[in-house]
Amino acid sequence: MGIDPALSPHRPNDVVALVTSTDPWSPAATTGVALARQWGSRLTGCYVDPSLRTLSGADAEPTVLGLLIQAWDEDHGERAAFESLARASGVPDAAWAVTHTSVAPTLRQLGAWHDLAVLERDMVEGHALADILGETMLSCRIPCLILPPGWKGEVAFKRVLIAWNGSIESTRALHAALPFLEAAKDVILIDGERLNPEDLTGHPPRFDPITYLMRHRIAVKPHSIGGPHHLSGEKLLQEAVHLHADLLVMGAYGHSRTRERILGGATRHALQHAKIPLLMQH
């Protein structure tokens, strides 16, 4: 640990922030600026109108890229204001866009050329929260930093809790968290994996999270929790509070049914109730 984030080989080169307010700037905008400054990244701010935030991907037109490109000509000073905010904060390379479609297809398109998305959990409220943000995370293919309501905290996360259960989703989330972990003072790993004898033969090589982190010069403290072996969302949030974590890293678990993506229970609970930022990846 102690690696300069700007020199980290794992730092995101392109960060996108889904902005919900320009006056004042919403938490996703200010957090995106802070992370881009910390890592020396390029930054895109994308405004999503309130009328579009509760639409599902199936309700949106498919021509997202064209809408994003078209939106560059629709400017009422926000682009200049965002670029000014970024430059004043030490981010020289910043761009601004406005989308005319819903959150999931917008971020699915932007995710094609960005490495990290910053979102505000309360950009979607009520019963639609888990469905809309779940669809977004399960389809965008990049890690998402999800901020709790009213987030005004620092982006220098010092105590990071990783929830790992042996799944490909949790492994991807751990890998995506490397730039955060390299800058943290304490990294705590909850290993919820339970191996059966048949897991040891006839399968691809196992991923050992502690060995992996040590190879990246990240000191990690294993931590166990009681109760059922599975990592429930409620238990994870309780542990995050108990351990004074300021960032929780976990996989975004889900499955598909006809034209719809459904979040798993742990992901849904953490997404709805976490009081600290979540770094999630499907």
> Of 126-130, 189-193, 257-261, where does the model show the most confidence?
189-193
Confidence of residue 272 (pLDDT cuts 50, 70, 90): confident
Confidence of residue 66 (pLDDT cuts 50, 70, 90): very low
Token couple for 268 = 């849904």
Question: Residue 10's beta-bridge partner residues?
Answer: none
Confidence of residue 235 (pLDDT cuts 50, 70, 90): confident
Distance set, CA 99 to CA 30, 45, 90, 237 (Å)? 19, 11, 26, 33
* Predicted pLDDT at 268: 81
How many other C-beta atoms lie within 10 A of the C-beta of residue 112? 11
Confidence of residue 71 (pLDDT cuts 50, 70, 90): very low
Handedness of CA 179, 180, 184, 189 (dihedral sign): negative
Single out the residue of 63, 108, 36 nearest to residue 282, CA to CA. 108
pLDDT tens digits for range 11-37? 889 999 999 999 999 999 999 999 999
Q: Beta strand pairing status for 278-281 and 247-251? A: parallel
CA dist 99 and 244 (Å) reads 37
Single out the residue of 214, 209, 132 nearest to residue 167, CA to CA. 209
Lowest mean pLDDT among 25-34, 65-74, 111-120: 65-74
Handedness of CA 27, 89, 281, 70 (dihedral sign): positive
Mean pLDDT of 234-260: 79
Ordered structural domains, the chain, with CATH: 5-147 (3.40.50.620), 159-281 (3.40.50.620)
Confidence of residue 100 (pLDDT cuts 50, 70, 90): confident
**191 and 222 Cβ atoms separated by less than 8 Å:** yes
Confidence of residue 70 (pLDDT cuts 50, 70, 90): very low
Residue 8 has pLDDT above 90, yes or no: no
Lowest mean pLDDT among 88-92, 129-133, 214-218: 129-133
CA dist 108 and 138 (Å) reads 9
Residue 173 has pLDDT above 60, yes or no: yes
Mean pLDDT of 43-51: 92
Residue 58 has pLDDT above 60, yes or no: no
